[in-house]
């Protein structure tokens, strides 16, 4: 690819006249090792007028599977695609059991219930996470106990978790936030796992690994989401993964109204309707066929962004912890305190048709969960992430032109905002 991006720049829907040659050259040229080095004829066309943060990457195989569902008349929770999806995802995750559910939230609710979480119990969760984690706890009558992020990370602080464990603690939910995997091995050694269920929330971390092991196989049980913006999708959908045979049996039973196999319309447990449909699973099976391709696409986009932005002093880029492989569900970065304005960066990108999203608002600040906030606690790291964090378009459907368009705009805007670049 031309190092001065001349051919690319000329194809952008961008006011090129406002960019000097020096400004055009501030973005580093792509590393050939990161993927495509020449542009196809299709990629020479202008980028879309609007580049979303995430979008599903659905192909013809999904349509074929959906057609098969209709022809076979299996459109609800029965059907071969549910079984295929569970079997294939369990194998990819490296566990014996996968229990497909109607959503990631349903998966966490179901897993917590199967672990015996009930009224009066406490469940330790990160404050910096999606609200579904807290709602799953509260709807079981339990109390969420919030913990701050580790400094320099989007993930929960393991040391702070240990300070919150008490006789009422029934479960700990460790979230692999934005696809950054968190090693839970030390936590598993320090808590009473016979009494406390350690659960991975891998909703955003498909394919991430820690010391060669895939997330979703590291603790007592784990949950995944297959919402439309996830690395793989079933539209709406989720799953529980575990190596524990008894836990898997309870989850399968409770997922389907807790129907007893011994007697028709007989219920030993209080169950839920948290089943994945055959239609959802049909899409999921088509996604699993290109699982590694979808995961690799996110990683290549992240590598290109990191290469392009690494010399800008106003940004804090995503990190990979030793021995881990980041999933890069989204490319989450932060503006350095006292440098550029996160909101101004977002505004300028939006003006050029590039969508961004801000970070999660910490749960301890949410009106719906303020009653669970102990004001003696300190959540400075979560609050800093919320104030300075954003993520960029990360879909596996992004073309090389669109990726370079994002890089160009971010670099140019950073140059304009307080001279944030260290480039000469």
pTM of the model as a whole: 0.89
- The confidence score (pLDDT) of residue 337 equals 83
Q: What is the mean pLDDT of residues 177-203?
A: 98
Q: What is the mean pLDDT of residues 200-207?
A: 99
pLDDT exceeding 90 applies to what percent of the chain?
A: 82
Tens digits of residue pLDDT in 46-87 = 478 899 999 999 999 999 999 999 999 999 998 999 999 999
Tens digits of residue pLDDT in 321-335 = 999 999 999 999 999
Q: What is the mean pLDDT of residues 371-400?
A: 96
Say if residue 378's pLDDT is above 70: yes
Tens digits of residue pLDDT in 78-111 = 899 999 999 999 999 999 999 999 999 999 999 9
Q: What is the mean pLDDT of residues 391-395?
A: 98
Tens digits of residue pLDDT in 256-308 = 999 998 888 999 889 999 999 999 999 999 999 999 999 999 999 999 999 99
Structure-model confidence comparison of residues 23 and 336, the more confident one: 336
Say if residue 17's pLDDT is above 90: no
Domains of the chain: 6-55+291-416 (3.90.1150.10), 60-288 (3.40.640.10)
Distance CA 283, CA 161 (A): 38
Tens digits of residue pLDDT in 208-261 = 999 999 999 999 999 999 999 999 999 999 999 999 999 999 999 999 999 998
Tens digits of residue pLDDT in 117-136 = 999 999 999 999 999 999 99
Question: Token digits for 54?
Answer: 């995430």
Distance CA 207, CA 78 (A): 27
Distance CA 286, CA 64 (A): 9
Confidence class for position 12, pLDDT limits 50, 70, 90 = very low
Q: By the 8 A CB rule, do 216 and 240 touch? A: no
Say if residue 424's pLDDT is above 60: no
- The confidence score (pLDDT) of residue 42 equals 42
- What residues act catalytically? 230
Q: What is the mean pLDDT of residues 146-175?
A: 98
- The confidence score (pLDDT) of residue 40 equals 42
Average pLDDT along the chain: 90
The Cα-based distances of 176 to 64, 201, 306 in angstroms read: 33, 6, 20
Q: What is the mean pLDDT of residues 403-413?
A: 95
- Strands 197-201 and 315-316 come out as unpaired
Confidence class for position 181, pLDDT limits 50, 70, 90 = very high
Q: What is the mean pLDDT of residues 177-189?
A: 98
Distance CA 404, CA 143 (A): 46
Which of 127, 130, 88 lies closest to 107 in space, CA to CA?
130
- The confidence score (pLDDT) of residue 262 equals 85
Q: What is the mean pLDDT of residues 156-182?
A: 98
């Amino acid at each position: 690819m031309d190092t001065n991006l001349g051919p690319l720049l000329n194809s952008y829907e961008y006011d090129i006249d406002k960019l000097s040659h020096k400004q055009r050259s501030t973005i580093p040229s792509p590393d050939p090792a990161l993927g495509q080095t020449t542009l196809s004829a299709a990629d020479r066309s202008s980028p879309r007028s609007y580049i979303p943060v995430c979008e599903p990457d659905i192909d013809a195989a999904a349509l074929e599977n959906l057609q098969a569902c209709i022809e076979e008349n299996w459109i609800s929770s029965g059907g071969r695609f549910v079984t295929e999806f569970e079997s294939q995802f369990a194998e990819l995750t490296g566990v014996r059991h996968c229990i497909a559910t109607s959503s990631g939230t349903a998966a966490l609710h179901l897993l917590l219930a199967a672990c015996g979480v009930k009224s009066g119990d406490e469940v330790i969760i990160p404050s910096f996470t999606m609200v579904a984690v807290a709602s799953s706890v509260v709807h079981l009558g339990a109390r969420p106990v919030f913990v701050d992020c580790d400094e320099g990370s989007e993930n929960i602080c393991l040391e702070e978790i240990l300070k919150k464990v008490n006789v009422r603690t029934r479960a700990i939910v460790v979230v692999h936030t934005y696809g950054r995997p968190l090693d839970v091995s030390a936590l598993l050694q320090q808590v009473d796992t016979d009494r406390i269920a350690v659960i991975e929330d891998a909703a955003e971390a498909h394919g991430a690994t820690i010391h060669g092991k895939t997330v979703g196989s590291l603790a007592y049980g784990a949950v995944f989401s297959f919402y439309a913006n996830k690395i793989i999708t079933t539209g709406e959908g989720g799953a529980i993964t575990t190596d524990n045979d008894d836990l898997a049996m309870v989850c399968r039973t409770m997922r389907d109204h807790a129907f007893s196999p011994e007697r028709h319309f007989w219920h030993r447990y209080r169950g839920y309707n948290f089943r994945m449909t055959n239609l959802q699973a049909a899409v999921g099976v088509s996604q699993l066929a290109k699982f590694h391709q979808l995961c690799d696409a996110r990683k290549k986009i992240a590598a290109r962004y990191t290469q392009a932005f690494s010399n800008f002093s106003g940004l804090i880029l995503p990190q990979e912890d030793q021995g881990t492989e980041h999933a890069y569900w989204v490319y989450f970065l932060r503006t350095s305190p006292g440098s550029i304005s996160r909101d101004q960066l977002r505004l300028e990108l939006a003006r050029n048709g590039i969508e961004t999203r801000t970070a999660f608002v910490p749960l301890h600040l949410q009106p719906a969960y303020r009653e669970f906030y102990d004001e003696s606690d300190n959540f400075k790291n979560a609050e800093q992430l919320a104030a300075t964090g954003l993520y960029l378009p990360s879909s596996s459907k992004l073309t090389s032109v669109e990726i370079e368009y994002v890089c160009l705009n971010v670099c140019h805007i950073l140059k304009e905002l307080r001279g944030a670049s260290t480039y000469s």
